[in-house]
Structures are given as C-alpha cells and as structure tokens.
Structure 1
Amino acid sequence: MRGVATDIGPIHFVGIGGIGMSGIAEVMKNLGYTVQGSDVAEGYVVQGLRDKGIAVTIGHAAANVAEAAVVVTSTAITRSNPEVEAALERRIPVVRRAEMLAELMRLKSTVAVAGTHGKTTTTSMVAALLDAGGIDPTVINGGIINSYGSNARLGASDWMVVEADESDGSFLRLDGTIAVVTNIDPEHLDHYGSFDAVKDAFVEFVENVPFYGAALLCLDHPEVQNVLPRVRDRRVVTYGFSAQADIRGVDVTPVPGGNRFACVVRERDGSARTIEGIELPMPGRHNVQNALAAIGVALELGIPDATIQQGFSAFGGVKRRFTKVGEVADATIIDDYGHHPVEIRAVLAAAREGARGRVIAVVQPHRYSRLGNLMEDFQTAFNDADRVLVTPVYAAGEAPVEGVDAQALVDGLKRRGHRSAATVTDADALADELAATIQPDDMIVCLGAGDITKWAAGLATAIGERR
C-alpha cells in the first residue's frame, strides 16, 4: 500500500465490532498492517475478526493502547473514552473512521454510495456487478454481504466500492470517482442541526467528484432532484422510475423471492436501448431502485448488459436486509435493519407484496432522539402491517425522553387509524403473544437497528416451545 507504511506499528480500533469499523480493520489487516481493537461486547463481527487473526479485547481500558501507533475511532466513541484519553495523553494520533477510510480511498478509483437509506444494499449490488464484470474491487460495506460472508474484501483491481456514511458529516472526506446518492431525508439532525444542512452536505459530497468522474442521482426522490440545479461542472447521470431518468426501471413484476424488471438506458446522444429480463432475487420496489443505481455504475465502467443480468441473478443479498431467519407453525420470520420511517414503509410494502397471509410488524425503535424527532412519521409508517408490536426503545447510549417511548408510538398509531397495535416488554413477551395468535402464512417482520436481530434469531424456537 502506498501512503501509510505497513510497518508503522499496531493500528488500534476503538469499537472494532461496529460494522463500519470492522470492514476497514479487515482490509488493513489484509494489506499487511498490524491491526488490533477493542469493543464493549462479544458478537459475530468480533468473532469473525478474531478468525481472521485480529486481536480483539472486550472492554475499554488505557492499557489496550499501550503499544498502539495509531488509534481509530468511530462516531460512537467520545473523547472521554479511556482508550482515547490515554492515546491523547501519550500523543498517539487519534483519527476518525472516515479519515482512515479516506486514506484507503486515495490509492484507488472509488465508487462511494451515499444516501439516507439503501446505501448498504446498493453498495452490495455494485460490488456484485463489478465482480461479475471481472473487475475484482476492494469493498467496504455497512452490512454483511452474503456471498463474501463479510462486510469487506480486498480486491486485486484499482477499483474500490465503499458505503459513505453521512451520519456525522465525515462522508465529505470521501472523494469518490463515482458518487451515488440514493435519497435524502431528515436524519441525523442531532449532528447537522437542520434539514437544510443535511441537503447542503449532500451537494458538497456530489461536488467532490472529479471532473472525469460521475454522480448518479435518484430522480424519484424530490430532495435528490433538488440537488441537480445546485451541481455545477460535474457529469450527472440520473436513475429511477421517472420517465426523465437516464437509467429507468420499467415493467417491474414481483416474482417469488424477488422481482423481474427491464431497464431503459438513455445514451448521451439521446438514443435509448433496453436491458430486458433482469432477475433480482430481492423483494420490494425500493430494491429495484437500488439495482438501477448499480446498473448505472456498471455501465460507467463498461460492463456489458449480459454481464449485468448475470450479476443480478447470482446476487446473494445482504445480512439483515429482508433476511428470512426462521419458520414456525407455517409462518415466516423476517429480520430487517429498517429503523427509519421511510425504510419501514418500504420493507412492509415488500412484505405485503410477497405475503400470503397477514403481515405482523415487530418494531424496536432505535434512539429516543430519532423516535421523538420523527414520531409523526413513525405513526404513519405501518399501514401495510395487519398488526404492529412495539418493543421498548433501544437507547444506543441515549438517556430516556419523557413522552417518547413505545406506548407513545402505539397511541399515535391508533389515533391515526391503525386497528391493531400494542407494546411488548421483552423477547419472552413477544414469543408468548405470537405463540397464542399467529396463523399459517403469517409473515412476521422484525425491524430495527438494535438487538431486535437477536430476538428474531430465537423467535421460531421460542414460539415453537410455547405451542
């Protein structure tokens, strides 16, 4: 690796079990660096890193950075962390995750995928199409790519595909050769202060593209469309279902386990051609939209139409993106990371499209601040669910906020006309409730960015034991 010498000494990741941190750690390990880290708890990501030869300590302590040459932190790590304090005291460089990712990106041409929702799936699809095209990219993603069994991979080519996280503004350090913006919604307002500041950040992200690169923007999303007149001197390619899009999805047909669709490609000379019969093994119209972004990237890199078709047909999906995790009493259990109202609507629409029976949503609100700021949006996001069961808020380190809790969400759902919404106190209570009420062909969709995934993983067994 040019730039940072591999013999600088141990690179210590604080919070290495985070999905964004682990990918960078894994790639740097594969590049020949000495990598170590710490996290507050065990988990499948931590175990996966250990399996790759990375030493991980559970718990944060000053002693963990005694031999470190560099300390890398995520947005979740504060300056009061004992490892960060010790590093600063010893004058060990402390860098943010995005700064380290930017160093990796400097060495390659990069596809950077940003947006409030859909980043992880879109990044995975781009990687799949580049793989199919023989490009062999380095990939750093925000979710486990099923075909890799990991969220990261070191490739042999000069191309890199990364998920660009906008949550703390640090994605502005990531200068992509090709930038993708899937959508722009009010999110992370605790950092930005206003939605206008969020929109300004995405404009800057697009303008960071070099003159020889391209920005792919989703024309279906009004706030992304509003970016267009603000971008100067950069080549823009639009995608979506809009008749005005350069990469346009048409003839979307749900099929078992996914969608079939066609793509109309408008060339620079104004002519158009159609890529027919694309089979995407993921349900939901929103995933077709994500696929259109990946098609746009693939075409920029000269990947043939037939290879694009092959790449999608072999796409293995992403962990926790509409992932089937169990069956019980002829009902299906789905685990999904969706935790924003827009994501929840899209996931439940996909569930409604594919369900033979009722759709039962089990939602774990993630952060009091998000639930409070978007309460009205949450209260109208569950219309495609026949039943809604709301768990306690997953705090993610935040203090409780009076009047912002599971009951407030349930009350709001009922005021807005939902016929069946209730709270559940814990995983056992959820299993009790479902064991008594599920019916054949029900689809139980567990939603959230916290530990609801553990509830989902054990739910089939827990229900079975109670029936």
Structure 2
Amino acid sequence: MEWIHIIGVGGIAMSAIAQYFLEAGAKVTGSDLNSNQLIEQLQKRGAEITIGHHQDNISADIKKVIYSDAIPEDNVELVTAKRYNLERLGRSQALKLITKDKDVISATGTHGKTTTSAMIAQVLEVGKQDVSFIIGGILNNFDSNFKINQGDYFVLEGDEYGRSFLKYQSELGVLTNIEFDHPDIYQDLDDLLAAYKEYVTNLGSYLVTNQQVIEQLKLDTLDLEIEVETVGINQPEATFNAVEIEERELTSYFDLEYQGERIDRFELEGLGDYNIKHALEAIAIGNYCGLSFAKMKESLSKWRGVKRRFEVLYEAEDKIVITDYAHHPSEVDVVTANLERIKTDKKKVVIFQPHQYIRTNRLFDDYTYVLDKEIDQCIVSKIYKVREEVSETELDRLGLKLSQIISSDEIHYYNKLGEIKAWLEEYNQKEQAIYLFLGAGDIDDFAREWVASF
C-alpha cells in the first residue's frame, strides 16, 4: 500500500487531494496547525492526521510528501522529508499527477473561479459526462469539493496563487476576469497579466472568456491555435449572451442567446450579473462537450451554489444569515450590492473581515466606499492574518483606518470576535435583520457558530 503524507491537509484543496488518495487505496497521513471539519471528515474515512507539524510525522517509508502552498521551505516536516530524500510534490504537482490521464477543464480568474468550476461540474454531471473534480469550495449539490469518476473530464479550479495554474496542462479553460491581487506573489498588474497570458497560450483546444479580458491581454484570437468563445450580458456580439434578466427574491432568470439566436429561458439560484456570467461560462463548456441546451437548463435549475458564496445559513421570519467568501474590494462591492437589491423590510447588516495584511495594505485605496450602499449597520473586524509577520498593533491600526474609508456612514470596528458577538446579540434583540458575513478567514466559522446558538 502506497503511503502518502500531506502537510497542510486541512486546506480546502489539500483535503480533496487526500480524499483522492484515500479512494485510490493509499495509506494517508497528514498534519495541520488546527483541526476543522474537513480534517474530521478525513479522519472518519481513515486518514491519520496530527495537529501540529513535527519531524516524527515523517518516516522513511513514506512514498510521497505533498505540501500546501502555505507551507514554508523551513517547515520541520518538509525539511525532514528532504533529509530522507522522499519524493516531494507541491499542490499543483499533485494535481498534475492526479489528472495525467484526463482532459482537464480549469476555470481561473481573479474572481469567480470557484463558482464557475463548480457550475461546470454540475452541468457535466447532470449531462451524464461522468465528471471528476477538485474545487476550492464545497458544492452544495454534491456536499463535497471532490469527486472521482472514470469519465474523460476532470474539472479543476485554476488557482493563480503561486502560479499554480501554469504547472499542469488544461485542455479547456475559462478565464473569468482579471484584477490585481496576490501582491505577495505578483510584482504588479503586468506581472499578473503575463501569467494569465501564459495560461491562455498553454491551453490545448478551447478558451471561454469575455471581451474585456481579451482586451486586457491584447489577445489576437485569430493567432491562437485554440477555439475562443465569449460570454456577455446584453452584449449581442458575445457568442453566449444573456438578455431579459429578472430577479425574484434570491433567484435569477435570463434568456440565453447563442450566436445571436434566442435559445430558451434559464433559471438560476443566485443574484447578480456575475452569477449569470458564470452560468454562461459553464454553458459554453457544456456546449463544447456536446451537451444539449435543454439538459444544461435542467442542470442549472438544480444548482444550489457553493458554501460561502452568498450561502444562506439561516432563514426565519425575524432574521436571515448569509455568509460569503468575498474579501477583495471588487468582490465586497459586488456582494454587498446583492444584499442592497434584496427587497425587504428587514434591516441590512454587514460584518466584514479583511483578509491578509499585505493585500489590505496594497489595495487599500480600492476599498474606498465599497460599503457605501443602502446598508443599515456595518462592522469591520480585525484583519485576518495569513502567512505574514505583522504585529497585532499594526493589524489594528490598518483595520481601524480601513473602517474609516469603506463607507461614508458610521462603521463599528472590533478587534475581537467576542465583541462582535455581543454587539450582534444586542442588535438581534431590537431588530429584524439580514446579516451578511464577509471574508475568507474565520468569520465564516464565527457565523456558523452564531447560527448554531439560535
């Protein structure tokens, strides 16, 4: 039996890789700094996981050591694996190994890659394509971020962090949008654009994108050796175009035009043009893979979203609780605009946790007035620190400064989640409200714990 050890096994992508090797019959061990639900699920399936990184976790009998992008070179387990001369694979190298006999479909972009790749998996699954996937979010339709099948297609979320999406071959690709992000990896926007352009030129046969990305990358689609199709909203020049958009409560409806011809009216759980655009991207991939529009209409009507993507955690007469992964300024702006457009007599409350000091500092001006909407109460928590050495004092300084520019209205700033809980309990006694929790850190765990206390 092959022995696989995974450092950082509790991450969303790494846990999926662990599931793959468990299903393949390997012995799987792993480690992480903290336990979570993903780790608990892996342990139930037979993985042996240690909390904390220790050199004793590494044995000379291990066949492969796979490590997360968050693991530094001086990690004690990685150093020990090097001393034993064990085979060591980063996340993207592991994905390359896992998908070597498949046609990879990857969705990438600054925003929306999780939702798009998840919709692609949903469309192909309902279309009986026997799809496999590893995606950076839990798909509510599958209650998993992983599935392995015997079919030809393997859907991956093409992560630009660490230039991971360039380290394996994608046959079909979706490029949703491009904005500057990950300042700890990319020097500037030009550096990021160069990586995305390399992604496009490495694709095997097909690209789905939009006219804005084509212009950003200065692509001459006639010079590319792949087929390129575009999506758009009220853009008749796009290959796949959505028109006659209507929203009712938390559901969107749109008419699909394909190459200028009206096809049918589609229903999609979720609000906002961006969700419709991601549905169009999934439709484009499905069409290329031979699915009928009728079958894709059926699959999207059954779509139930991805955890932490405008996910409704609780709904009752007195309150609704929603959580979303948004943390980049553009994401925060779009998601809070969705909250703003909901017609309700309830108050609207946003609790935002900025993510990563270096991102918040580098993109600081882009946060100006992103919460300046018809929202009744806004709370900012302390910045969630990731892979960076920064003092608590500096986190507070920048977080407080951020709270002063994100809206023209009064903003509450708290540096402890316990203080936010106390505020929520008091407010909840007085008002009926929709609570929207935003951020990629532990604010989601906090929201779920609060809901569990009702």
TM range (shorter): over 0.9
In the other structure, the counterpart of 1:127 is 121
Residue of structure 1 aligned with 2:312, choices 324, 328, 332: 324
In the other structure, the counterpart of 1:214 is 206
- Structure 2, unmatched stretches of 5+, are none
Conserved? CA contact 2:372–2:409, under 8 Å: no
In the other structure, the counterpart of 2:398 is 405
1:86-133 Cα offsets, whole Å, 9 max, x none, are 000111121110011012222101111111111111111000100111
Residue of structure 1 aligned with 2:411, choices 405, 421, 444: 421
Residue of structure 2 aligned with 1:278, choices 242, 254, 266: 266
User: Structure 2: how far apart are the matches of 1:128 and 1:295?
Assistant: 10
Superposed, 1:198-209 pairs within 5 Å as: 198-209=192-203
In the other structure, the counterpart of 1:353 is 341
User: Structure 2: how far apart are the matches of 1:114 and 1:52?
Assistant: 30
1:299-340 Cα offsets, whole Å, 9 max, x none, are 101111110111011112111111112357712111111111
User: Structure 2: how far apart are the matches of 1:215 and 1:424?
Assistant: 44
In the other structure, the counterpart of 2:35 is 42
Superposed, 1:314-463 pairs within 5 Å as: 314-327=302-315, 330-356=318-344, 357-384=346-373, 385-400=375-390, 402=394, 405-413=398-406, 418-438=408-428, 440-460=431-451
TM-superposed CA distance for 1:52, in Å, is 2.1
In the other structure, the counterpart of 1:177 is 171
User: Structure 1: how far apart are the matches of 2:424 and 2:123?
Assistant: 40
User: Structure 2: how far apart are the matches of 1:340 and 1:21?
Assistant: 23
User: Structure 1: how far apart are the matches of 2:261 and 2:242?
Assistant: 12
TM-superposed CA distance for 1:383, in Å, is 2.2
Distance 1:80 1:374, change over 3 A: same
Question: Given residue 350 of structure 1, which amino acid in structure 2 is its aligned partner?
Answer: N
Q: Secondary structure at the match of 1:295?
A: helix
Question: Given residue 276 of structure 1, which amino acid in structure 2 is its aligned partner?
Answer: D
Q: Normalising to structure 2: TM-score of the pair? A: 0.93
Pairing 1:301–2:295 present? no
User: Structure 1: how far apart are the matches of 2:125 and 2:209?
Assistant: 23
Superposed, 1:74-113 pairs within 5 Å as: 74-113=68-107
Give the fraction of aligned pairs with identical amino acids, expressed as a percent.
Answer: 29
Conserved? CA contact 2:208–2:231, under 8 Å: yes
Runs ≥4 residues deviating over 6 A: none
Superposed, 1:8-87 pairs within 5 Å as: 9-66=2-59, 67-87=61-81
1:185-211 Cα offsets, whole Å, 9 max, x none, are 10012111111010110111011112x
User: Structure 2: how far apart are the matches of 1:149 and 1:425?
Assistant: 33
Pairing 1:236–2:224 present? no
Distance 1:128 1:92, change over 3 A: same
1:254-303 Cα offsets, whole Å, 9 max, x none, are 1232201111111xxxxx32232211012222111111110110110111
Conserved? CA contact 1:214–1:235, under 8 Å: yes
Conserved? CA contact 2:351–2:437, under 8 Å: yes
User: Structure 2: how far apart are the matches of 1:15 and 1:307?
Assistant: 39
